[in-house]
């Protein structure tokens, strides 16, 4: 019995297949332009010869490489894409004292538009206290070769309620509407998981969402699969018994048959704030998990130790041939590089460290930087991250992968402002305490947190909310005033960061009261949601 399994995205068929003369293969693969499957004539293989398909039909991409599937053929092609015109942001009311549902805001970021720098649409969720957090797409560049796929649904998991909202962004991108709601009971019963976090579309057409825990609030790093058409819960991606102790972010790379995932902490520990004792009690993670992409088995768990405590965002280099990437570790302000070794397994090494500062007037005598978000430019040249407690954004040239070089730094708020209650007693970097930052007449509350880079790498967008329970603990003024969205001009030639003084979106002036805006997404894809195969 001969069987052939053909996926719908980016399939490379072997050059020789042991088909008997009576077997037909109705599809061939266009590799010149987009790797999509296209109809071929029914062709017999002659006994003793190789099977060679004949076709008179050509790939649609052969004359125009813009309409094959969602996203772009390569990261460098994406850098040539059009500039962003609108941005989607989840806005949160949980822990603010305002009994209103979270909502998805659409912001106009087109300088030529009459509504530039304004919120042009708000889509409220139908429930309270969801804690919208991160988002992802039903299809991205991993399905570029499939012309049947469209990037037209935004997936919005709720970190606390465990609901997943499916939002229609295709009918009217400037006014998204609700398409479907996946209720938490479906996730609990079918997967045993809860607290969904990161969303990625898969080349198969399915959608995968990482989890932080189980329905009881314990840590459990598993993965929820949704059907890419119906958005019904399919089940777990990981095999039974293979879930990691904790979960958070993940990034896959089928070319190397690998997926990497990270750890935050147990939902019952982090739900309402951060307690250092919970770290000592083992309720926060410190590992990168290595998964076999084909078998779904967990192959390795790389323990980063105390220096790598609470590893959050993980990013492979965008070049799909690369076998390395970076992860930002919050508690000790470190960035680790992970890589495949000559033996074929995976390892990690610390390559960046932002030292803690000795302080007085704060909750603890030592203040870590708390790296909370990182991203890599599409050309794999620059790495960016935010230090949410110290209050700065950093740009590193990672041309030398093992020795990143600081190329730009910018303070935008934080906990060590020179007119605040905290006094820095000892700083290994010998930096003076920064002044408060004012943009368009508003003093920036909170600190830079979520980052998103324009496709060409020249504009860095920043929001200030981390997570409502931690916002309330560390930046209570932001709960009262709302978060903000800023834009940073990036020097892509030599490195450097500069505030755009004419751009500010103030979520403190929202109709229902100050809101906490979190992660940013462009309708056309970006460097943290698109994966290339």
pLDDT at 18 over 80: no
* Residue 312 near residue 329, CB atoms below 8 Å: yes
Residue 36's pLDDT is what? 34
* Residue 160 near residue 151, CB atoms below 8 Å: no
Residue 15's pLDDT is what? 36
pLDDT at 37 over 90: no
Please report which confidence band the pLDDT of residue 38 belongs to, taking 50, 70 and 90 as the band edges.
Answer: very low
By mean pLDDT, which of 95-99, 146-150, 317-321 is the weakest?
A: 146-150
Q: CA–CA distance from 8 to each of 46, 148, 292, 336, 517 (Å)?
A: 28, 9, 21, 35, 36
DSSP letters spanning 229-287: TT--EEEESSPTT--BSS---EEEEGGGTEEEE---B-HHHHTT---HHHHHTT-B--E
Greatest alpha-carbon pair distance for the chain in Å reads 84
Taking the C-alpha atoms of residue 260 and residue 249, their distance in angstroms, rounded to an integer, is: 8
In a domain, 71, yes or no: no
Exposure class string for 441-452: b at 16+ Cβ within 10 A, else e: eeebbbbbbbbb
What CATH number does the domain containing 496 carry?
2.130.10.10
Sheet hosting strand 451-453, strand order edge to edge: 451-453, 459-463, 484-490, 497-506
When pLDDT is averaged across residues 260-285 and rounded to a whole number, the result is 95
Domain residue limits at 483: 87-517
In a domain, 288, yes or no: yes
In a domain, 249, yes or no: yes
In a domain, 95, yes or no: yes
In a domain, 29, yes or no: no
What's the pLDDT tens digit per position in 237-255? 999 999 999 999 999 999 9
Structure-block tokens of residue 58: 């050509």
Taking the C-alpha atoms of residue 212 and residue 246, their distance in angstroms, rounded to an integer, is: 6
DSSP letters spanning 106-155: EEE--TTSTTTTSEEEEEE-SSSS--B---EESS-GGGTT-TT----EEE
In a domain, 333, yes or no: yes
What's the pLDDT tens digit per position in 355-367? 999 999 999 999 9
61 against 493, higher pLDDT? 493
Q: State how many domains the chain has.
A: 1
* Residue 465 near residue 474, CB atoms below 8 Å: no
Q: CA–CA distance from 127 to each of 131, 158, 342 (Å)?
A: 10, 11, 51
Residues 174-177: contacts with CB under 8 Å, at least 24 apart: 174/86, 174/106, 174/120, 174/121, 175/106, 175/120, 175/121, 175/123, 176/88, 176/104, 176/106, 176/121, 176/123, 177/123
Half-sphere exposure of 237 (CA within 13 A, CB side): 29
**Residue in the block written with tokens 């409220």:** 124
Please report which confidence band the pLDDT of residue 32 belongs to, taking 50, 70 and 90 as the band edges.
Answer: very low
Residue 41's pLDDT is what? 32
What's the pLDDT tens digit per position in 449-490? 999 999 999 999 999 999 999 999 999 999 999 999 999 999
When pLDDT is averaged across residues 123-149 and rounded to a whole number, the result is 95
Residue 221: DSSP 8-state = B
Kindly report the pTM of this predicted structure. 0.88
What's the pLDDT tens digit per position in 399-418? 999 999 999 999 999 999 99
pLDDT at 497 over 70: yes
Partnered with residue 65 across adjacent β-strands are: none
Structure-block tokens of residue 362: 């704060």
In a domain, 250, yes or no: yes
Residue 421's pLDDT is what? 97
In a domain, 77, yes or no: no
For 443, phi then psi, to 5°, come to -75, 130
Taking the C-alpha atoms of residue 329 and residue 93, their distance in angstroms, rounded to an integer, is: 27
Taking the C-alpha atoms of residue 112 and residue 90, their distance in angstroms, rounded to an integer, is: 24
Q: Which one, of 379, 412, 410, lies nearest residue 394 by Cα?
A: 410
Structure-block tokens of residue 163: 């609901």
What's the pLDDT tens digit per position in 188-239? 999 999 999 999 999 888 999 999 999 999 999 999 999 999 999 999 999 9
Residue 145's pLDDT is what? 87
DSSP letters spanning 471-502: HHHH-HHHHHH--EEEEEEE-TTT--EEEEEE
């Amino acid at each position: 019995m001969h069987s052939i399994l053909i996926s719908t995205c980016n399939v490379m068929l072997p050059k020789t297949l042991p088909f008997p003369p009576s077997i037909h293969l109705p599809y061939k693969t266009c590799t010149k332009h987009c790797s999509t499957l296209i109809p071929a004539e029914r062709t017999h293989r002659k006994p003793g010869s190789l099977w060679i398909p004949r076709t008179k039909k050509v790939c649609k991409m052969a004359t125009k490489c813009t309409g094959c599937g969602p996203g772009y053929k390569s990261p460098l092609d994406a850098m040539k894409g059009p500039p962003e015109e609108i941005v989607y942001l989840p806005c949160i009311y949980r822990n603010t004292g305002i009994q209103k549902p979270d909502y998805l805001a659409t912001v106009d970021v087109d300088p030529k538009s009459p509504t530039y720098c304004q919120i042009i649409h708000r889509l409220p969720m139908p429930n309270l206290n969801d804690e919208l957090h991160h988002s992802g797409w039903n299809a991205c560049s991993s399905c570029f070769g499939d012309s049947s796929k469209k990037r037209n649904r935004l997936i919005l998991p709720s970190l606390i309620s465990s609901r997943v909202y499916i939002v229609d962004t295709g009918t009217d991108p400037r006014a998204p509407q609700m398409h479907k709601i996946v209720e938490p009971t479906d996730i609990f019963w079918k997967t045993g998981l809860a607290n969904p976090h990161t969303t990625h579309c898969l080349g198969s057409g399915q959608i995968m969402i990482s989890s932080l825990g189980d329905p009881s609030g314990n840590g459990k790093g598993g993965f929820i699969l949704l059907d890419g058409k119906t958005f019904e819960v399919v089940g777990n991606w990981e095999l039974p018994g293979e879930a990691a102790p904790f979960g958070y972010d993940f990034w896959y790379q089928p070319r190397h048959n690998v997926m990497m995932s990270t750890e935050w902490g147990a939902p019952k520990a982090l739900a309402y704030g951060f307690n250092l004792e919970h770290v000592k009690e083992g309720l926060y993670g410190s590992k990168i998990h290595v998964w076999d992409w084909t078998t779904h088995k967990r192959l390795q768990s790389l323990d980063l130790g105390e220096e790598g405590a609470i590893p959050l965002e993980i990013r492979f280099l965008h070049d799909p041939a690369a076998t390395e990437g970076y992860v930002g570790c919050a508690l000790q302000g470190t960035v680790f590089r992970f890589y495949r070794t000559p033996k074929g397994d995976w390892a990690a090494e610390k390559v960046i460290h932002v030292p803690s500062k000795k302080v007085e007037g704060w909750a603890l005598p030592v203040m870590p930087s708390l790296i909370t978000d990182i991203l890599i430019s599409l050309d794999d040249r620059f790495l960016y991250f935010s230090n949410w407690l110290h209050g700065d954004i950093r740009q590193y040239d990672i041309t030398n992968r093992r020795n990143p070089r600081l190329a730009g730094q910018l303070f935008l708020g934080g906990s060590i402002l020179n007119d605040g209650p905290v006094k820095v007693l000892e700083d290994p970097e010998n930096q003076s305490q920064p002044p408060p930052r004012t943009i368009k007449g508003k003093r920036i509350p909170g600190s830079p947190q979520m980052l998103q880079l324009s496709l060409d790498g020249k504009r860095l967008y920043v929001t200030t909310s981390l997570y409502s329970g931690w916002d309330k603990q560390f930046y209570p003024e932001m709960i009262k005033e709302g978060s903000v969205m800023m834009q940073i001009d990036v020097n892509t030639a030599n490195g450097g960061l500069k505030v755009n003084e004419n751009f500010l979106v103030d979520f403190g002036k929202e109709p229902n009261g100050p809101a906490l805006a979190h992660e940013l997404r462009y309708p056309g894809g970006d460097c943290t949601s698109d994966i290339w195969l």
